[in-house]
Amino acid sequence: MQRERDVMSTAVEGLRSDFGGDIIEPGAAEYEAASRSVLVSGRPAWVLRPASVEDVRAGVRFAADTGLRLAVRGGGHGFPGFGTNDDGVVIDLSKFAAVEIIDEDRHLVRIGGGATWGQVAAALAPHGLAISSGDTRGVGVGGLTLTGGIGWKVRKYGLAMDNVAAVEMVTANGDVVRASAEENPDLFWAIRGGGGNFGIVTSFEFLAHPTTDVFFGKIAFPAAELAGVLQGWADYLRTAPEELTSIATFANPFAGGPEAPLEILVAVDGDDPDLAAQALDPIRRLGTVIDDDVALTPYADILVDAPTPPPGFKVVTRGAFVDKESVSEALRILAEIGTSERSPAIAVRSVGGAVSRVPDNATAYAHRHAELMFVTATGGPEPVVEEARPGLEAIWARLTPHLSGAYANFVASATDEDVAAIYPAQTYERLAAVKREYDPGNLFAGNHNVRP
């Protein structure tokens, strides 16, 4: 016991001498805000906000030397709460938020590992550039990118991670490494889909694309027409212009639950009204349109602010992919569920397009041929969520035969079953080999963990 105290004392002394950022401990004025992620509360022993890469290295060494659990926080929106813990160390990257164009001809952009997508979109807009990201301003670049990145331009430009050219990261032994197609290519393969298993990314280099305003909004249909419109929408997406990315949402508890309209959210990449009409009119013809607010909108403005739930409010999400041969039956079940009492909120996202043109083994994202990704969401105080859990399990039991894997960014737990759904066996084995090289002690275990 005395030896453990001596080790901790030495590690703390080293941290205070080597760390140039903020060190936040219980009792400090900032602690309550710093200790929690957006969706999950925690009581870490230390929250470290590094101001430099050297600080990140010092924080990693501190966690390794003390043996304390390590959490890494970018935007902090992860549903499982990976951005905090109890009695451990949190490395908060919020000071790493710079966005810099480093090659104007190639549209190459360097982005800090703690930036949010709202910051990125706002910084790139004056240059007429964008990166296909998620759909929420406050979501972190790191968390979204390392596990995929399904956003409003996904069918034309692929996943956010498909546009990564290189990363700089700090590994478990405190080394700073660069990973790209040319440098440490196995690590570059692994971080594109493998999450935060291999280190802390302090900066990303993305290839952005020129952008204009986009046609964005919703086309709504009555709940009574849900089944037919939903199937027609999915069928149409197989031949729709790739400029169109779309999400279907229904059973929204704030809009009537089973009586809520089916809202087809759309983004058409480009400011050509003829192209927008060509892309959207087939959707409008699927049923009785009861609302249509599609309008030309700056790309940065289509990202929304995700609400921060009040204390004690729990959100449970679960997401999965659907391949072409299962689309019809999966949507039939989802439509039946969505118009029944006590349905969770449901969102179905289009994928395909540019995502499916990347070879299966090119990255650790293993679901290239899925046509759709869908999510169920339930929220409320803990007793309400627990009461709903058996119903949710029954829903997913019906759906499971028609699913193919899971999307890490919408999985609210981190069981072995979750990890197996995210990473099929062949992908997992290759990830584990990279993990053994860069993190043999599994310091970076606070994620959908690949064990070395």
pLDDT digits (tens, 9 = 90+) for 417-448: 999 999 999 999 999 999 999 999 999 999 99
pLDDT, residue 248, reads 98
Compute the half-sphere exposure of residue 345: CA atoms within 13 Å on the CB side of its CA. 15
Residue 137: CB partners within 8 Å, gap ≥ 6? 116, 117, 118, 121, 303, 304, 305, 306
Summarised one tens digit per residue, pLDDT across range 153-177 is: 999 999 999 999 999 999 999 999 9
Phi/psi for 321 (5° steps) reads -100, 155
- pLDDT band for position 18 (cuts 50, 70, 90): confident
Beta-carbon count within 10 A of 1 CB: 5
The residue whose two tokens read 């809520």 is 260
Q: Where are the alpha helices (DSSP H) in 160-249?
A: 185-191, 226-237
Q: Residue 218's beta-bridge partner residues? A: 265
pLDDT of res. 314: 86
Which tokens go with 407? 């999307």
Q: What is the pLDDT, as a whole number, of residue 14?
A: 81
pTM: 0.94
Percentage of the chain exceeding pLDDT 70? 99
pLDDT score, position 4: 65
Is the pLDDT at 231 greater than 80, yes or no?
yes
- Return the pLDDT at 1: 63
Alpha-carbon span 378 to 350, nearest angstrom? 21
pLDDT (average), residues 31-54: 95
**Cα(76)–Cα(73) distance, integer angstroms:** 5
